[in-house]
Amino acid sequence: MKILTVVGARPQFIKAAAVSRVMKDHQDIHEVILHTGQHYDANMSEVFFREMEIPEPAYNLGIQASLQGEMTGRMIEGIEKIIISEKPDALLVYGDTNSTLAGALASNKLFVKIIHVEAGLRSYNMKMSEEINRILTDRISDLLCCPTANAVRNLESEGFADFNCTYLNTGDVMLDAALFYSQIAETKSTIVRDLNLDDFVLLTFHRAENTNDPRRLSDIVKALNAIHPTKRVVLPLHPRTKKTVEALGLKLNMDVIPPVGYFDMIELLKNCKLVVTDSGGLQKEAYFFQKPCVTLRDETEWTELVELGCNKLVGADPVLIQSSIFEMLKQKFNFDNELFGGGKASQNIISAIETYL
Ligand code: UDP
- Report pLDDT digits (tens) over 19-62: 999 999 999 999 999 999 999 899 999 999 999 999 999 999 99
Q: What is the mean pLDDT of residues 6-12?
A: 97
In angstroms, what is the span from residue 159 Cα to ligand 1's centroid? 31
Please state whether the predicted TM-score (pTM) of the whole model is above 0.95: yes
The confidence band for 305, taking pLDDT boundaries of 50, 70 and 90, is very high
d(CA 278, CA 290): 18
- Strand 2-7 to 30-35 pairing: parallel
Q: Is 5 in the pocket of ligand 1 (CB under 6 A)?
A: no
User: Hey, which of 204, 210, 257 would you mutate to test ligand 1's pocket, going by the most ligand atoms within 8 Å of its Cβ?
Assistant: 204
In angstroms, what is the span from residue 219 Cα to ligand 1's centroid? 22
Residue 5 to residues 17, 92, 335: CA-CA distances in angstroms? 11, 5, 33
User: Hey, which of 282, 287, 305 would you mutate to test ligand 1's pocket, going by the most ligand atoms within 8 Å of its Cβ?
Assistant: 282
What is the per-residue pLDDT for 66? 86
Percent of the chain residues topping a pLDDT of 90? 99
Q: Which atom of ligand 1 is nearest to the CA of 262?
A: 7
Q: What is the mean pLDDT of residues 192-203?
A: 97
